[in-house]
Amino acid sequence: MRLVVIDTETTGLSPKNGDKMVEIGAIAIEHGQVQMEQVFHRFIDPQCEIPHQVVEIHGIDAAKLAAEGAKPFAEVGAAFLEFIAGATLVFHNASFDLGFIKKELADAGLPGIDAMPVVDTLSMARQRFPKRPNNLDALCDRFAIDRSHRALHGALIDATLTAHCFLAMSDEDSVPASEDEPSALPTQSILDLVRDVYFELEQRHKKALEAPLPTGIEDLDEKHGGIQAGDLILIAGEAGSRKTALAAGIVHQLAFRKFDLCSVLIFSLRQSSLQWAEHALGSEATVDDSIMQSGRIHAKHWRAFAAASGKMAESDMHICDASPVSIQDIRDTCRQHNHQTSRLVILIDDLHRITLPETALRERNYSAISRSLKSLATKLKAAIILLAELPASSENNANRETEIADLQCLGCIHQDADMILFTHRGSSAMTVER
């Protein structure tokens, strides 16, 4: 079995925040030996500034990259993939290096490496030496691996040291040098500790992201846990039953207030994007619509608008007010938008403005729409909120609450929806079916 041990040096700690690789080093292990002649090593032009605090750690600045003839990763990525092809990948703190490599491959339009097996020597060390320092320096000292040439962090140097540590930990008969004789108390560099902290935080963050999305509606979140990625949520009610207000409240909660701000894409098929933005600003600033319409805006309102605008500017909300649109239009726009975030919420207002080829039965069109949207939600791992207006009740039934039977005019749409919210005219009440 061929293993390839990989290490990277970067401009920072988080590829999600725009940090990039500046060096990548890899070395092969075959037949239980480090293969010094099988090496991949490249300096990479990050095409961005390198903070001086980071340069102090690995010594790689713009001048060094220029002297080494560094190229953008897109120009060396194919050669890297060729070198690691068919191998098991070994890292020390795999989530850190893998995060950067996967991001660089995706940005370069190159194949991903998700299917390749991965070994993390940090996890190995933590299992073998719990509650002890397990950074690379500590492991080298523990197994008497010479690291005297490691004045600064370097991708190829660290990959080679990691390879020797991996072999030492893989040998069941190996005995750490520090267990044979007394030694000084172990120390850990702050950089390695911060990397460990980032690893722990990322694991907690991933776990938190698996939780349902809160809607901000206490009763709904308490009873049903919020909404899940892949859900199709139908909000149905008669005209004037505040369907749009309910949907807006949910997406604003997700776009402006949540710890992990969702990317929100709104298909506003009944009102202009400017109208939607005005309602959103008024809602976030808690300024009544009547004040905004009258233009009698006081200083306190302007201050509220300024504070709300700052919060909204940090969001990833986009509005499309083209109407009518087809299912294919929605699908293409959503797929393009989904590249920006893994937490995507789509709001479509409303069902009756979506076009489909004519069929004999109008209900058949609605069923085709709901099936397509449910499929899209599943593929994109997005939550889709669909609004649908129901026919007005007769005067005799004006006070009757809407129920599942009222959806018959929309074909089999209720069978595709994971959650159905009914709004009621003349009341703030809402009922939920799941």
Q: Give the C-alpha separation, 383 to 345, whole Å.
A: 5
Structure tokens at 93: 């703190």
Task: Report pLDDT for 229.
Answer: 85
242: left (phi over 0), alpha (psi -120 to 50) or beta: left
Structure tokens at 188: 């850990």
Task: Report pLDDT for 271.
Answer: 87
Task: Report pLDDT for 98.
Answer: 94
Closest Cα partner for 72 from 51, 43, 40?
Answer: 43
Superfamily of domain covering 212-433: P-loop containing nucleotide triphosphate hydrolases (3.40.50.300)
Positions annotated as catalytic residues are 153
What are the C-alpha distances in Å from 256 to residues 62, 251, 348, 387?
38, 8, 19, 21
Q: What is the pLDDT of residues 295-348, one digit of tens each?
A: 999 999 999 999 989 888 888 889 999 878 888 999 899 888 765 555 889 999
The domain locations on the chain are 3-208, 212-433
Q: What does the pLDDT average to over 68-96? A: 95
Domains 3-208 and 212-433 share a fold: no
Model's pTM, two decimal places?
0.56
**Residue 9: is its pLDDT beyond 60?**
yes
Q: Give the C-alpha separation, 105 to 428, whole Å.
A: 50
Q: What does the pLDDT average to over 60-86? A: 95
Task: Report pLDDT for 148.
Answer: 86
22 burial via Cβ count (<10 Å: 0-12, 13-18, 19+): buried
Split at pLDDT 50, 70, 90, the class of 89 is very high
At which residue do the structure tokens 């703030």 appear? 428
Task: Report pLDDT for 260.
Answer: 64
Q: What does the pLDDT average to over 396-415? A: 75
**Residue 209: is its pLDDT beyond 80?**
no
Q: Give the C-alpha separation, 196 to 169, whole Å.
A: 19
Q: What is the 3-state secondary structure (H, E, C) of 85-137?
A: CCCEEEECCHHHHHHHHHHHHHHCCCCCCCCCCEEEHHHHHHHHCCCCCCCHH
Split at pLDDT 50, 70, 90, the class of 358 is low
Query: Who wins on pLDDT, 7 or 179?
Result: 7
Task: Report pLDDT for 79.
Answer: 97
Split at pLDDT 50, 70, 90, the class of 180 is very low
**Residue 258: is its pLDDT beyond 90?**
no
Kindly report which listed range (61-75, 152-166, 353-367) carries the lowest average pLDDT score. Answer: 353-367
| Cβ atoms 143, 174 nearer than 8 A | yes
Q: At what angle do helices 273-285 and 299-313 cross, to 10 degrees?
A: 110
Q: What does the pLDDT average to over 281-293? A: 91
| Cβ atoms 189, 154 nearer than 8 A | no
Give the alpha-carbon dihedral of 225, 230, 236, 239, to 10 degrees.
110
| Cβ atoms 347, 279 nearer than 8 A | no
Q: Give the C-alpha separation, 284 to 385, whole Å.
A: 20
Average predicted confidence (pLDDT) for the chain = 85
- 93 φ, ψ to 5°? 75, 70
Indicate the CATH number for domain 3-208. Answer: 3.30.420.10
Split at pLDDT 50, 70, 90, the class of 181 is very low
Task: Report pLDDT for 396.
Answer: 53
Task: Report pLDDT for 182.
Answer: 47
